[in-house]
Structure 1
Amino acid sequence: MLDSKTCPVCGAIVKGRSDKKFCSKKCKSIDQYEHRRKTEVFYLEVDRQLKINRRILKKYNKSGYTVIRKSQLTGEGFNPRFFTHYWRNKRGDVYFFVYEYGFLSKNENGKEKYLLVIWQDYMAQ
C-alpha cells in the first residue's frame, strides 16, 4: 500500500515521484519565499531603514549643505543608527553617510540638529 503525502503548504495530496515534497510549483515557490523571509529578516529590516534614511536625507539636502532640526528628520522615520559608512574630518568630526548623503549631529543653542552634506571626492582620500 502506498503512503500518500500531503503538501506542507496547502495540505493537498502530493502526486508523482516518491521524493516529491510539494503538490505544485506554486506551493514550492511559496515555501521558498517564506523560508527566505524568515532567514533574512534582519537583512530586510536594515535594507528598508537604509532606504528610508536615504530618501529623507535626499529630500532635505537639496543644496548639498543644510542644517535641520533632528526632530524633523526623526519625525519622518529617520534612524541615525543605520548608515553605510563614515568620514572623519581634520577636526575630528565624524560624518555618517547613507550612501552619498551624510549627516553630522550638532548641538546649537541647546537644540539638537543635523548638518547634512553630500559625499565629495576629497572625502575618499
Structure 2
Amino acid sequence: MKRNCMECDLPISGREDKKFCCDGCRNAFNNRMNRDSTNMMRNVNNKLRKNYRILSELNAEGKTRIAQEKLLHKGFELHYITHILTTKTGKTYRFVYNQGYMITDDNQLELVRRET
C-alpha cells in the first residue's frame, strides 16, 4: 500500500504507521493545525509572565503591602491569574504561579510568595 505525507503529499517509506516523510513536514503540519489556539495561548501566557515579573519585582522579600494603583501603573492586569486560594480564615488570594496578592478593604494589596 502506497502512503503519502500528510503535509507535502510525497511518498513515505519506512514504518507502516508513519504519517510524514520528515520531521520538518510533521512540525509544519502540527504548527498549521494548532495556529489558531497558539496565538490566543501565546497572548495569555505573555500576560501571565508580565504579571509574574511585576509581582516578583514588587515582592522581593516574600511579603509586602502596596497601593493597588502602583501595581496597575506598572501594567499589571488583574484578570490574568493562574489560581485562587481561599484560606481557612476566609481570605482570598489570587495567584500568578507562586506570587499572590489579596485586595484589602482600603484598596491596598497584600503581596505574598507561596513556597512550593
TM-score of the two chains, using structure 2 as the length reference: 0.67
Gapped runs of 5+ residues in structure 1? Answer: 1-17
1:16-48 deviation per Cα after TM superposition (whole angstroms, max 9, x unaligned): xx946xxxx7xx95x976765433222111101
Identity of aligned residues (%): 28
1:18-97 to 2 correspondence within 5 Å? 19=9, 36-97=34-95
How many aligned residue pairs are there?
Answer: 95
Gapped runs of 5+ residues in structure 2? Answer: 1-7, 11-23
Q: 1:114 to 1:42 in 2, by over 3 A?
A: same
Instruction: Name the residue aligned to 1:14.
Output: none
Instruction: Name the residue aligned to 1:118.
Output: 113
- Pairwise CA distance, 1:55: 0.1
Instruction: Name the residue aligned to 1:12.
Output: none
- How far apart, CA to CA, are the structure 2 residues paired with 1:85 and 1:74? 19
- How far apart, CA to CA, are the structure 2 residues paired with 1:93 and 1:50? 22
Name the structure with the higher strand share. Answer: 1
Runs of 4+ in 1 over 6 A off after TM superposition: none
Correspondence 1:100 to 2:95: no
The amino acid of 1:40's aligned partner reads T
1:2-17 to 2 correspondence within 5 Å? none
